[in-house]
Amino acid sequence: MALFARKKRLFHRLLIVEDEPLVAFENEYFLRDEGFEVVATLDRVEEAVALINGGSAIDLVLADISLADGSGIDVAKAAAKAGIAVLFVTGQCPAEAEALADGCLGKPYTQRDLALAIAAIEAVRTGTTPKRLPPGFTLFRTAA
């Protein structure tokens, strides 16, 4: 085992649902560079829900709230029903987000903040306390 090997991840396959092209492109590029598999980058609720309901292997959905054809809340509802973790990445986190998602990262955010938010959700999902929470991030679930 290498001394500086990356720890085993809970989340490997990500779905990005974002209708701002530059944000979507930057997130996709960054997350792939970080070793994640981006299953798809979509900008429409209908396409995201169809992918989730179609049984695609997805571990985490990164969803904006305001999308061209509706709300990321509908994406989160489909993901929650399928047992998939959700991180909202949005300018304004809605009140109902806590019931549907693991956390909410406010825009604008840095790529480092995005990585820390994902790591925090992974930590909680594996029963540990996150080491650090990024600014503008609200974690809805806590370690048992």
Q: Which residue bears the tokens 């980058």?
A: 41
> Taking a C-beta distance cutoff of 8 angstroms, is the pair 60, 89 a contact?
no
pLDDT for the residue 6: 53
pLDDT for the residue 142: 66
Q: How confident is the model at residue 13 (pLDDT cuts 50, 70, 90)?
A: very high
3-state secondary structure of 62: strand
Q: What is the mean pLDDT of the chain?
A: 91
3-state secondary structure of 22: helix
Looking at CATH, the fold of the domain delimited by 13-137 is given as: Rossmann fold (3.40.50)
Residue ranges covered by each domain of the chain = 13-137
Query: Which of 89 and 95 is assigned the larger pLDDT?
Result: 89
Q: What is the mean pLDDT of residues 24-29?
A: 96
Kind of pairing between the strands at 66-67 and 70-71 = antiparallel
pLDDT exceeds 60 at position 127 = yes
pLDDT for the residue 143: 55
Name the nearest CA neighbour of 15 among 94, 95, 78. Answer: 78
Q: What is the mean pLDDT of residues 121-129?
A: 93
